[in-house]
Amino acid sequence: MRGVDVTGGDVLDAIGWVIGNIGMAFVNFGVALANPGMWLNWSDREALARFIYYGASVEFFFVVFTAFLVLTVIGMAVRPFLWGMVRGLEAMANGIGRFVAWFGLLMVLQQIVIIFLQRIFRVAVLEFGPFAPFGYPLLPGPSFARDLSWWSEELKLYNAMIVCLCVTYTFVQGGHVRVDLFYSSVRFRTKRLIDMAGCLLFMMPAAVLTWLYSWFFMWRSLVTPKVSASDKLDSLLAKARIFKWNVETIAFSPNGFDAYFLFKLLMIAFCALVFLHAWAFLWRSWLEFVEGPAAEGRYLDRDAPGSSTDDLQTR
């Protein structure tokens, strides 16, 4: 019985901790809005330290989580509002994805230019500018010049942009590969329950965990001394006295691409997009569960004609 009492107390403590942090989220959000200079004025090193700390803190998580809860409760009471949120988040995913998808074409064209100039003109440096539209200067003028190996390695950045920034666009379009063991054979509302469980148990936690690891991984390549997830706020504020920008520009080859910190920024963007779209998919699944089959695919903006939910489930 004693073990049961201890376990019960632990559960109550955990519930109290969650409720307390949800309540404090309103206070923390208000303080952040009222004092933007304390965390956005990066000319102040202590403000930068606060931004780094709170970006992956319990306080920030509960501010975001509480915003999700508030919007969900309002949306359950006012369904048109929730449909508007779903449409807005899906439009954002589609807008970002459709724009970034063009970098695939740019990647192909740049590779063609690299091969053409390397094999035909035997150039070692590519220049792009107003008078150098094809990687080779036609007239004297301002241009951005880098070694051929730099441009070749930069193609990885385009690929990473497509992967990280088109992930939710691909989700909206139903383009992700999935293994279906029983989903297609269950009833409509059961499918929606599975979708909601997937958002809550897998999609959101995975995005949060990836964010927590990526946040400090990114900042370690931007500032010195190095920061880590184990640093407390007081420790970071103490380090802030000797903070300085130290953007990593180490290339993997001589004269190679030297802006690999951009890949770490993309990891953060990836996590944010996935987390926000988990909201949209959860809300859409709930609305379709409540309103029935007539609401399936409502307001869904997909590119390919005929790409209905039924078509995707049979692939």
- Condensed to tens digits (0 to 9), the pLDDT of residues 7-32 reads 667 888 889 999 999 999 999 999 99
Reference 169, options 95, 68, 219; nearest CA is: 95
Q: How far is 288 from 282, CA to CA, in rounded Å?
A: 10
pTM of the model: 0.88
Residue 312 structure tokens: 């995707």
* Residues 257 and 153: beta-carbon distance below 8 Å: yes
- Condensed to tens digits (0 to 9), the pLDDT of residues 115-128 reads 887 888 787 888 87
* Residues 199 and 278: beta-carbon distance below 8 Å: yes
* Residues 65 and 25: beta-carbon distance below 8 Å: yes
Q: Of the spans 89-93, 129-133, 306-310, 311-315, which averages the highest pLDDT?
A: 89-93
Assign 305 a pLDDT band (cuts: 50, 70, 90): low
pLDDT confidence of residue 132: 76
pLDDT confidence of residue 63: 97
* Residue 307 clears pLDDT 60, i.e. is over it: no
* Residue 315 clears pLDDT 50, i.e. is over it: no
Quote the longest CA-to-CA distance of the chain. 86
- As a dihedral over the C-alpha atoms of residue 290, residue 293, residue 296, residue 299, rounded to 10 degrees, the angle is -80
Q: How far is 251 from 248, CA to CA, in rounded Å?
A: 9
Kindly state the helix (H) or strand (E) to which residue 245 belongs, with its residue range.
strand 244-245
| CA geometry: angle 205, 208, 213, nearest 5 deg | 125
| CA geometry: angle 72, 25, 200, nearest 5 deg | 40
* Residues 50 and 258: beta-carbon distance below 8 Å: no
* Residue 3 clears pLDDT 80, i.e. is over it: no
